[in-house]
Structure 1
């Protein structure tokens, strides 16, 4: 039995690195195709000039595409983070958030590229936005996906 999105959300929110940085999972859609995460600005995640520390901005986006693909594709697939990069657009102040989404077209492409057992490295992107909806940072995640050999 797989853990529910609600249980996963609770566990992630209690994970010490996220708890200390003020990172919160706000919502996981039951089909795992959308996750909303937020982070408040506090003493533990601000940098020298008083805005969100870049490492915390990246951390708030780190595991979610991998988790979404693992739960959406199922146990017939290996899914790992392969690479990531972040572009800082403007200083982050106050509460920032990220909405991760998986479109059906992306899932179909992944399934098609891995149908023969080949490795595939999809690149997914999420924007971190401030309370007014302005982009603070853009994160690109490259994942490793491979269909497992049938037993």
Structure 2
């Protein structure tokens, strides 16, 4: 199991959209409950104004909660990214970071809801910050989750 995680951690940094955007997975905990992602400002993710391109900022937060939920909920659930809203707060002028935390409370709420209904949408909040902790953008990630039919 740990070998699969190491493979995921290494190979995901070579995923085409991440390479093009400069996105790097810095850390993923063994239990898939926490991930830290960074993105340096480079010539290929810089916009006309010389700051982080908005599409790259979104790309850095795209798949993480889906992957974390798949690993933590198990094979009895289907998880898909459904929608997102990104609010740009300040131009990103250097390396930016995003942290993803999946708590017991998140999992308990999802499992309790799906015990009484077939499907649900769940919203995770993600903040993208610079090296000084200043908010660059915040994102609402909507995930579609349902139990598999038995």
1:5 Cα shift? 2.3
Instruction: Give the secondary-structure state (helix, strand or coil) at the position aligned to 1:84.
Output: strand
Counterparts of 1:80-91 in structure 2, within 5 Å, are 80-91=80-91
Q: State the SS of the aligned residue for 2:61.
A: coil
Cα deviation per residue 1:83-104 (whole Å; 9 max; x = unaligned)?
A: 1110001000111000000111
Distance 1:42 1:141 in 2: 25
Q: In the alignment, is the contact (CA less than 8 A) between 1:34 and 1:99 conserved in 2? A: yes
Q: Residue in 1 aligned with 2:18?
A: 18
Task: Give the corresponding residue for 1:144.
Answer: 144
Aligned residues: 150
1: CA distance between counterparts of 2:121 and 2:3? 26
Structure 1 residue 4, shift from structure 2 partner: 2.5
- Secondary structure of 2:107's aligned partner: helix
Residue ranges of structure 1 left out of the alignment (5+ in a row): none
Q: Deviations over 1:54-107 (max 9, x none)?
A: 000000000001001000101110000111110001000111000000111111
* CA offsets 1:90-130 (integer angstroms, 9 cap, x no match): 00011100000011111100001112451010100110000
CA contact (8 A) 2:126 2:139 kept: yes
Instruction: State the TM-score, normalized to the length of structure 2.
Output: 0.95
C-alpha distance in structure 2 between counterparts of 1:109 and 1:3, whole Å: 30
User: 2:2–2:30: 8 Å Cα contact kept in structure 1?
Assistant: no
Q: Which runs of 5+ in 2 are unaligned?
A: none
Q: CA RMSD, aligned part only?
A: 1.4
Residues 129 and 137, structure 2, Cα contact 8 Å, conserved in 1: yes
